[in-house]
Amino acid sequence: MLRTVLLDMGNVLVFFCHDRMCSQLGALCGRTGGEMRRLLLDSHLQWEFERGQLSEAEFCNALSERVGQPLNIEDVRRAGSDIFEPHDEMLPILAGLRDAGIRLVLMSNTSISHLEWVRAQYTFLDYFDDLVLSYEAGAIKPEPAIYEVALSKIECPPEQCFYTDDIAKYVEAGREHGLQAEVFRDAATLRKHLGDLGVALA
């Protein structure tokens, strides 16, 4: 019996683009997108932010130091977070799962800036009973700690929870924690996976 569905956010509920993030931050800082990728992603600064090791203000200050100029936190927030597009086909799936009495939990590698941007722009998060966020868990997928937090939130044995994510190694880590899990490909495939588990959505 399926009791809980555990969903990723990026490229499942909303599509996102790191190249767009680097390009927009580069325009703000007078750098190319490639330079920003090295300063932000290759340096692991973004992942420190997503692990909650830096507050939004600390992240902005660290970025300011790396580009050698003061940056406004609101400008950084917009340039770094206006990178999402909604996956509208997921809304009826979320509604159907809620109507079927299935618990919904989000598990996402994300920063507070990205999470709050998505919350302000779209309604996806309104469907969820609980959220497992990397910046609160102090860990990012596929690190075990974030899965342990998820197991504490699903409110059922792991074998009664279905997890989907667009990253295969994250799905494999979910299986290692006892979850039923499949790689997310598109909404139609997710409907099939749910149907195979006895949850038929209109």
Averaged confidence pLDDT in the chain: 97
CB under 8 Å to 15, separation ≥6 — which residues? 84, 85, 86, 87
pLDDT at 14: 98
| Per-residue pLDDT at 9 | 98
Q: Residue 57 to residues 39, 72, 73, 76, 127: CA-CA distances in angstroms?
A: 17, 10, 7, 10, 29
pLDDT at 5: 98
Residues across the chain: 202
Model confidence pTM above 0.85: yes
> What SS3 state is found at 3?
coil
Residues of the chain with pLDDT under 50: none
Residue-level pLDDT at 202: 79
Q: What is the DSSP letter of 81?
A: H
